[in-house]
Chains A and B, each alone.
Chain A
Amino acid sequence: MSLLRVQHLSKRFSNAGLPAVEDISFELGRGELLALVGPSGCGKTTTLRLIAGLERPDAGEIHLAGRLLASAHAFVPPEQRGVGMVFQDYALFPHLTVFENIAFGLNGAPPAERRARVSELLRLVELEDLAGRYPHQLSGGERQRVALARALAPQPSLLLLDEPFSSLDADRRREVRQQVRAILKSLGATAIFVTHDQEEALSLGDRLAVFHRGRLEQIGAPDKVFHEPATRFVAEFMGGSDFLPGRAAPGGVLTELGLLPQAQSANGHSRVDITLRADDVDFALAESGNAVIEERFFQGAFQVYRLRLDSGVALHSIQEHTVLLPVGARARVFIRAAHPLAVFPRREPGAAASQ
Chain B
Amino acid sequence: MAYPQMDADLLFNLPRRHSGANLALPLAAGGVALLVAAPLVYIFLRAASAGPDAWQRLLQSRLWLLLANTLALALAVTAGALLLGVSLAWLTERSDLPGRRWLRALLALPLAIPAYIGAIVHLALLRPRGGLIPQALASLFGQPAPLPAPVGFWGAAFVLTLFTYPYVYLLSGAAFRTLSASLQDAARTLGRTPWQTFWQVTLPVLRPGLLAGALLVALDILAEYGTVALLRYETFSSAIFVQLSGRYDRAAASVLSSVLVGVAVLALWLELRLQGKARFTQVEAAWRPAPLAALGAWRLPALLLALLVVSASLLVPLGVLLTWSVSAFMQPGTLAQALRAGSRSFGDFAWNSLWTSSLAALLAVTLSLPAALLAARHPGRLARLISRFCQVGYAIPGVVIALSLVLLVNRYLPFLYGTPLVVVLAYLLRHMPQAVRSSEAALARLSPSLEEAARSLGRTPLQTFFQVTLPLALPGLLAGGALVFLTSLKELPATLLLRPAGFDTLAVRVWSWAVEGFYVQAAPAALFLVLAALLPLSFLLRQEPIFR
Decide whether A and B are members of one complex: yes
Q: How many A-B residue pairs have CB under 8 A?
A: 89
Q: Are B188 and A77 in contact (CB under 8 A)?
A: yes
Nearest-Cβ distance from residue A68 to partner chain B, whole angstroms: 18
Bound CA span A83–B191, Å: 9
Q: Are A78 and B278 in contact (CB under 8 A)?
A: no
Assess whether A154 is interfacial by the CB under 8 Å rule: yes
Bound CA span A107–B197, Å: 13
Assess whether B185 is interfacial by the CB under 8 Å rule: yes
Assess whether A53 is interfacial by the CB under 8 Å rule: yes
Chain A residues numbered 108-157 whose CB sits less than 8 Å from any CB in chain B:
134-136, 150-151, 154
Q: Are B188 and A89 in contact (CB under 8 A)?
A: no
A154: which B residues are within 8 A, CB to CB?
190-191
Smallest CB gap from A156: residue in B:
B189
Assess whether B187 is interfacial by the CB under 8 Å rule: yes
Nearest-Cβ distance from residue A155 to partner chain B, whole angstroms: 12
Question: Which interface residue of A78, A81, A84, A166 has the most chain B CB atoms within 10 A?
Answer: A78
B192: which A residues are within 8 A, CB to CB?
79
B187: which A residues are within 8 A, CB to CB?
93, 104
A151: which B residues are within 8 A, CB to CB?
189-190
Smallest CB gap from B285: residue in A:
A167
Q: Are A87 and B190 in contact (CB under 8 A)?
A: no
Q: Are B186 and A87 in contact (CB under 8 A)?
A: yes
Nearest-Cβ distance from residue A4 to partner chain B, whole angstroms: 15
Assess whether B182 is interfacial by the CB under 8 Å rule: yes
Q: Are B186 and A93 in contact (CB under 8 A)?
A: yes
Assess whether B297 is interfacial by the CB under 8 Å rule: no
Q: Are A78 and B205 in contact (CB under 8 A)?
A: no
Assess whether B201 is interfacial by the CB under 8 Å rule: yes
Nearest-Cβ distance from residue B202 to partner chain A, whole angstroms: 10
Assess whether A73 is interfacial by the CB under 8 Å rule: no
- A 75-107 to B, binary, CB cutoff 8 A, 1 in contact else 0: 001111101110111111111100000001101
Bound CA span A352–B282, Å: 46
Assess whether A274 is interfacial by the CB under 8 Å rule: no
Smallest CB gap from A167: residue in B:
B285
Chain B residues numbered 153-201 whose CB sits less than 8 Å from any CB in chain A:
180, 182-183, 185-193, 201
A105: which B residues are within 8 A, CB to CB?
190-191
Given contacts A89-B180, A134-B277, A136-B280, contact A163 B189 (CB under 8 A): no
Assess whether B411 is interfacial by the CB under 8 Å rule: no
Assess whether A286 is interfacial by the CB under 8 Å rule: no
- B 308-335 to A, binary, CB cutoff 8 A, 1 in contact else 0: 0000000000000000000000000000
Given contacts A89-B180, A154-B191, contact A94 B185 (CB under 8 A): no
Nearest-Cβ distance from residue A244 to partner chain B, whole angstroms: 39
Smallest CB gap from B281: residue in A:
A136
Bound CA span A224–B372, Å: 62
Q: Are B286 and A163 in contact (CB under 8 A)?
A: yes
Given contacts A136-B280, A163-B286, A167-B284, contact A93 B183 (CB under 8 A): yes
Smallest CB gap from B284: residue in A:
A89
Q: Are A95 and B280 in contact (CB under 8 A)?
A: yes
Smallest CB gap from A143: residue in B:
B284
B287: which A residues are within 8 A, CB to CB?
89
Assess whether B279 is interfacial by the CB under 8 Å rule: yes
Assess whether B207 is interfacial by the CB under 8 Å rule: yes
Assess whether A54 is interfacial by the CB under 8 Å rule: yes
Nearest-Cβ distance from residue A252 to partner chain B, whole angstroms: 47
Smallest CB gap from B196: residue in A:
A79
Number of B interface residues in the complex (CB < 8 A):
26
Bound CA span A87–B182, Å: 7
Q: Are A78 and B189 in contact (CB under 8 A)?
A: yes
B190: which A residues are within 8 A, CB to CB?
79, 84, 104-105, 150-151, 154
Assess whether B144 is interfacial by the CB under 8 Å rule: no
Question: Which interface residue of A80, A81, A84, A104 has the most chain B CB atoms within 10 A?
Answer: A104
Task: Identify which of A53, A95, A135 contacts B188 (C-beta below 8 A).
Answer: A53
Nearest-Cβ distance from residue A281 to partner chain B, whole angstroms: 38
Assess whether A52 is interfacial by the CB under 8 Å rule: yes
Assess whether B130 is interfacial by the CB under 8 Å rule: no
Smallest CB gap from B201: residue in A:
A93
Q: Are A91 and B191 in contact (CB under 8 A)?
A: no
Assess whether B204 is interfacial by the CB under 8 Å rule: yes
Q: Are A89 and B185 in contact (CB under 8 A)?
A: no
Bound CA span A54–B42, Å: 59
Bound CA span A78–B188, Å: 6
Nearest-Cβ distance from residue B161 to partner chain A, whole angstroms: 27
Smallest CB gap from A82: residue in B:
B191
A93: which B residues are within 8 A, CB to CB?
183, 186-187, 201, 204-205
A135: which B residues are within 8 A, CB to CB?
282
Bound CA span A94–B282, Å: 7
Nearest-Cβ distance from residue B178 to partner chain A, whole angstroms: 12
Nearest-Cβ distance from residue A67 to partner chain B, whole angstroms: 16
Bound CA span A53–B184, Å: 13
Smallest CB gap from B203: residue in A:
A95
B279: which A residues are within 8 A, CB to CB?
136
Bound CA span A83–B189, Å: 6
B285: which A residues are within 8 A, CB to CB?
88-89, 166-167
Question: Which interface residue of B189, B190, B278, B284 has the most chain A CB atoms within 10 A?
Answer: B189
A92: which B residues are within 8 A, CB to CB?
282
Smallest CB gap from B189: residue in A:
A85
Nearest-Cβ distance from residue B214 to partner chain A, whole angstroms: 16
Q: Are B182 and A88 in contact (CB under 8 A)?
A: yes
Nearest-Cβ distance from residue A293 to partner chain B, whole angstroms: 41
Task: Identify which of B180, B191, B204, B282 contacts A136 (C-beta below 8 A).
Answer: B282
Nearest-Cβ distance from residue A179 to partner chain B, whole angstroms: 21
Nearest-Cβ distance from residue A95 to partner chain B, whole angstroms: 4
Question: Which interface residue of A81, A90, A91, A150 has the most chain B CB atoms within 10 A?
Answer: A91
Q: Are B188 and A91 in contact (CB under 8 A)?
A: no
Q: Are B183 and A52 in contact (CB under 8 A)?
A: no
B286: which A residues are within 8 A, CB to CB?
87-89, 163, 166-167
A49: which B residues are within 8 A, CB to CB?
185
B204: which A residues are within 8 A, CB to CB?
93, 95-96
Chain A residues numbered 35-86 whose CB sits less than 8 Å from any CB in chain B:
49, 52-54, 77-81, 83-85
Smallest CB gap from A160: residue in B:
B189
Bound CA span A79–B192, Å: 5
Q: Are B207 and A52 in contact (CB under 8 A)?
A: no
Nearest-Cβ distance from residue A222 to partner chain B, whole angstroms: 26
Nearest-Cβ distance from residue B56 to partner chain A, whole angstroms: 46
A167: which B residues are within 8 A, CB to CB?
284-286
Q: Are A134 and B185 in contact (CB under 8 A)?
A: no
Smallest CB gap from A85: residue in B:
B189
Bound CA span A135–B189, Å: 19
Task: Identify which of A54, A95, A150 contacts B185 (C-beta below 8 A).
Answer: A54
Task: Identify which of B189, B191, B193, B278 contacts A95 (C-beta below 8 A).
Answer: B278
Bound CA span A282–B421, Å: 89
Nearest-Cβ distance from residue B203 to partner chain A, whole angstroms: 9
Chain B residues numbered 440-471 whose CB sits less than 8 Å from any CB in chain A:
none
Smallest CB gap from B193: residue in A:
A79
B280: which A residues are within 8 A, CB to CB?
94-95, 136
B183: which A residues are within 8 A, CB to CB?
91, 93
Task: Identify which of A52, A94, A107, A136 contacts B189 (C-beta below 8 A).
Answer: A52
Smallest CB gap from B288: residue in A:
A89
Task: Identify which of B186, B207, B278 contacts A91 (C-beta below 8 A).
Answer: B186
Bound CA span A258–B185, Å: 57
Nearest-Cβ distance from residue B85 to partner chain A, whole angstroms: 20
Question: Which interface residue of A85, A87, A95, A107 has the most chain B CB atoms within 10 A?
Answer: A95
A-B contacts besides A87-B182, A89-B286, 12 pairs, CB < 8 Å: A54-B189, A78-B189, A89-B182, A89-B287, A91-B186, A93-B187, A95-B280, A134-B277, A136-B280, A154-B190, A154-B191, A166-B286
The contact sample of 9 A-B pairs, CB cut-off 8 A, is A54-B185, A81-B189, A83-B189, A84-B190, A87-B286, A89-B286, A94-B205, A95-B278, A167-B286
A-B interface, 4 closest residue pairs, ranked by CB to CB distance from nearest = A105-B190, A91-B182, A89-B284, A78-B188
